[in-house]
Amino acid sequence: MTHFIKLNNGVPEGNVIVEENLRQVLTNATFPTVITDSFIEPFGYGIYDFRSQPPVARYQKNIEVTPVKNQYGIWCQTWETVAMSDSEKTLEDERKSAEVRFTRNQKLYQTDWTQLIDAPVDKAAWAAYRQELRDITSQTGFPWEVQWPTQPE
């Protein structure tokens, strides 16, 4: 599906639209089978291509910047990687903490049965494992560097 973006003085701005919507906007235009940049730009639109965000390190984020026109005349979505603000770092730590706690809680939930009176397992080993899971939040490096305990056999 081809996407298009409005051009203002030759610079993309606003939201991307699909071909069907472009045809509704440009009701007086006779469209060719394949829409090229040379056809559409006189109408104030450019062909647009979405791009994946680049990978980021911890405490970095991607922000979308002005698209760049490639050698084929297509405006490509462009990303810039920047450092997070202190408040964003705090939120990222909270998000990661919640993610680790969720995984920990799932592991505890999945092993609740091992503590039943008639469970045919080594209760002491499973109780120790479950305590190690509970202690994950006190590990040095939590929440980014968690050493998960090994589940008993």
Could you tell me how far CA 80 lies from the centroid of its own chain?
15
As beta bridge partners, residue 75 has 48, 69
Distance CA 36, CA 104 (A): 53
pLDDT digits 0-9 by tens, 49-77: 999 999 999 999 999 999 999 999 999 99
pLDDT digits 0-9 by tens, 77-129: 999 999 999 999 999 999 999 999 999 999 999 999 999 999 999 999 999 99
* Residue 5 reports pLDDT greater than 90: yes
- Write down the pLDDT at residue 150: 96
- Rounded to 10°, the helix 86-110/123-134 angle is 170
Specify the pTM: 0.73
Both structure tokens of 128 = 């120790």
